Amino acid sequence: MSDKNTLPGEKLKPKKTFSDYWSKYSTVLIMALMIVVFGILQPQAFMTGKNLIKIIEQSSITILLACGEFFAILLAGIDLSVGSTMALSGVVSSRLLGLGWNTWAAMLVGIIGVGMLLGAINGGLINLTNLHPFIITLGTQSIFRGLTVILADSRPVQATGFAQVFGGKLFGAIPIPILVALLVASLLTFFTLKSKAGRNLYAIGGSKQAAWFAGINVKRHTMLAFMISGVCASLAGMVNIARLASAEPAAGTGYETFAIASAIIGGTSFFGGIGMIPKVVLGGLIIGIINNGINMVGLSSYYQQICMGALIILAVTLDRFFGASSKKR
């Protein structure tokens, strides 16, 4: 029975096809293309170190949201409530700050008490009702937004204290939001690649049924995924109020689109089970580059929307033909 093909230890180097390269490097490729295009259009302003750092800083909120969104999409679901979660946690923290709380304590409550809790509510409802996450988070998106507006009394809430925490720069050059996004992305990369829970999430994304029969507690992991999404969104909320020195009740409206777009441009499969955090970060950066570059070129922000929309469709179409999911029969 055994023949030359069966030796498992032997490293057989299969010939790489275009499809293999594409599924590996598509995101980097798109990003390089963007940089080249804007670099040619605006050589002086775009390609400066200062501008590049600015792009990353502007992208940090999108990246944080996208890192959380990634987990919802990994389970073949979606989280539409990240924008609202971001706003609600921001308003709660600012209110607490207004009540004279310590900055760190207020932030901690915003992240753990609000972000994680809202994520748990999403996860809990999904587990309880067995409805698609799209439905549940469409509902909670609206509920969380409503709560935000009530709590903020329809007005921006002052939050100057946070600017001190997030406003600074490391070594006088690297803005703190970048560090936060980088840290979160690194932690989550480690989590997805090295932890058993991370592996299980991929398994559930591949086949919920098979995961259940393999002994994975699907409900607990679903809960976990949405809690991570909630925490990431509330971190984005903290970065946002620090940047603006106030919590806007309408903050983050429509940001779920950015988050979903980043995850998808970053090669996360909508069918679940396929994707990587580092690529999602690149996806977030690509969106940042588009926004920044189009601004630089002097076009109105409506072109950003057109560009981003086209890119989503392009990325998914190309993935359909060449990506990892094209191989699955």
Partner 1 sequence: MESNLVEMHHIEKKFPGVTALRDVNFTLRPGEVHVLLGENGAGKSTLMKILSGAYEPTAGEIVVNGERFERLSPKLSQQLGISIIYQELSVVNELSVQENIFLGRLLTVRKLGVTVVDKVRMNRETERLLGEIGLHCGPQTQVDALRISEKQMVEIAKAVAFNSNVIIMDEPTSSLTEEEIEQLFTIIRKLKAAGKGIIYISHKLKEIKEIGDRVTVLKDGEYVGTHNVSDVTIDHLITMMVGRELQNKYQSATREHGGQTEVVLEVRNLTRRDGYVRDISFRLHRGEILGFSGLVASGRTETMEAIYGAVPVSHGEVLLNGRKLRIRNTYDALNSGIALVTENRRETGFFHNFNIRRNLAIARQLKDSKQGGLYGLVSPRQEKAISAEQVRAMQIKCASLEQSITELSGGNQQKVILGKWLAAGSQVIIFDEPTKGIDVGTKSEIYKLMRRLCEQGVGVILVSSEMPELLSVCDRILVYFEGRINGEYAIEDATEEKLVYSATVAKEDAQATA
Distance between CA atoms of residues 245 and 167, nearest Å: 9
- Taking CB under 8 A as the criterion, the residue among 215, 254, 300, 302 binding partner 1 is 215
Residues 313, 10: contact at Cβ < 8 Å?
Answer: no
Which of 33-41, 203-211, 227-235, 283-291 is the region at the interface with partner 1 (rule: CB under 8 A)? 203-211
Q: Does 221 bind partner 1 (CB under 8 A)?
A: yes
Closer to partner 1 by CB, 155 or 327: give it: 327
Q: How far is the CB of 271 from partner 1 (least distance, A)?
A: 9
Close Cβ partners of 258 (under 8 Å, ≥ 6 residues apart): 62, 65, 66, 284, 287, 308
| Cα–Cα nearest to 183, from 71, 26, 60 | 60
Enter the tokens of residue 98. Answer: 């207004």
Distance between CA atoms of residues 101 and 93, nearest Å: 9
- Taking CB under 8 A as the criterion, the residue among 51, 207, 304, 326 binding partner 1 is 207
Q: How far is CA 105 from the centre of its chain?
A: 25
Which of 30-38, 78-86, 188-196, 313-321 is the region at the interface with partner 1 (rule: CB under 8 A)? 188-196
Closer to partner 1 by CB, 10 or 171: give it: 10
SS3 132: coil
Q: Does 130 bind partner 1 (CB under 8 A)?
A: no
For residue 173, with 0-12 CB atoms within 10 Å meaning exposed, 13-18 middle and 19 or more buried, which class applies? exposed
- Taking CB under 8 A as the criterion, the residue among 50, 130, 172, 196 binding partner 1 is 196
Q: What residues from 9 to 28 belong to the interface with partner 1 (CB under 8 A)?
A: 9-17
| Cα–Cα nearest to 61, from 293, 248, 285, 315 | 285
Which of 3-11, 80-88, 124-132, 156-164 is the region at the interface with partner 1 (rule: CB under 8 A)? 3-11
Q: Does 132 bind partner 1 (CB under 8 A)?
A: no
Closer to partner 1 by CB, 72 or 308: give it: 72
For residue 300, with 0-12 CB atoms within 10 Å meaning exposed, 13-18 middle and 19 or more buried, which class applies? exposed
Enter the tokens of residue 178. Answer: 């970048």
Give me the 268-307 binding string for partner 1, x by CB under 8 A, dash otherwise.
----xxx---------------------------------
Closer to partner 1 by CB, 130 or 301: give it: 130
Q: How many residues does the chain have?
A: 329
Closer to partner 1 by CB, 71 or 258: give it: 71
Which of 102-110, 144-152, 241-249, 267-275 is the region at the interface with partner 1 (rule: CB under 8 A)? 267-275
Identify the sign of the CA torsion 186, 250, 119, 284: negative
Closer to partner 1 by CB, 127 or 257: give it: 127
Which of 29-37, 58-66, 214-222, 277-285 is the region at the interface with partner 1 (rule: CB under 8 A)? 214-222
Closer to partner 1 by CB, 240 or 269: give it: 269
How many of the other CB atoms lie within 10 Å of CB of 84?
A: 27
Buried b (16+ CB within 10 A) or exposed e, 178-203: bebbeebbeebbeebeeeeebebbbb
Dihedral through CA 153, CA 248, CA 149, CA 90, nearest 10? -100
Report how many residues bind partner 1 under the rule CB under 8 A: 45
Closer to partner 1 by CB, 169 or 328: give it: 328
Binding site for partner 1 (CB under 8 A): 1-3, 5-6, 8-17, 194-197, 199-200, 202-203, 205-207, 209-217, 220-221, 224, 272-274, 324, 327-329
